[in-house]
Amino acid sequence: MNLSDLKIIVTGGAQGMGAHFAKRLLEAGASVAVGDVNEEKLAELPEGIHRRRFDVSDPDDIESFVKWAAESMGGLNSLINNAGIIRDGLLVKKDRHTGEVVKFPKKDWDAVIGVNLTGAVFMVREVVAYMIENDVRPGVVVNMSSVARHGNRGQSNYVSAKAALAANTVTWAREFAPYGIRFGAIAPGLVDTPMTQGMNQAAREAIAKMIPVGRPGTPEDLWLAVKFVLECDYFNARTIDVDGGAAL
């Protein structure tokens, strides 16, 4: 699809990669609607981007947001499923000082699964339902997975969500091909964003040292991959690793 033909939602688009994608899409002539819980950062987006506070972990809010976005843009034919959070920790660990066995808290599991997986799944449900009901074609969805989907210490919740998104990219490509809707996934490695800047710094530095190109990624690096998926009508049902050659 031509970028200028897109009427696209970007979730988690108030900052980081999502904000960069939204700005690039606007520059290319696309109609863009952004949702995020961070109202302060939403207000900083360029004029011309439709924006609204939006909690992707709330299925009712998803339904309302998708309807609002379609009305605001005069249609809807694409989605970047970008919203994500991290709540890292070992599933079970033994305190080195007290010997106490500590179990990973369910609230941190629920938070990450709620945003990174359940929210992403229900976003696809509502966006695809709109496209089918309104006979919109072609359509395209980009799911933001992660190289962590292969497994990464201390990220059981995040790994579970991102692996499921990559697998469902194949599932949905097969389910919705009859309606002219493509699906692709992008799997970033370490990218310099507000989310990764909040990581444990020792862990972040250790990951950075394993990147053969010698640096973390930038939002622009990831935009080039997202742009490819949006524009290439022959790309479907696959996940692209954009990680500088790193292996977790």
| Catalytic residue from among 130, 158, 179, 234 | 158
Beta strand residue intervals within 115-179, DSSP E: 139-144
**Among this protein's residues, is 158 annotated catalytic?**
yes
Closest C-alpha among 173, 169, 172, 179 to residue 240: 169
Number of H helices and number of E strands within the chain?
9, 9
Q: Assess contact for 48 and 23: CB atoms under 8 A.
A: no
In sequence order, which residues have a C-beta less than 8 Å from that of residue 244 and are 6 or more positions away?
189, 190, 211, 212, 213, 214, 215, 216, 217
- Burial (0-12, 13-18, 19+ Cβ within 10 Å), 186: buried
Query: Active-site residues: which are they?
Result: 158
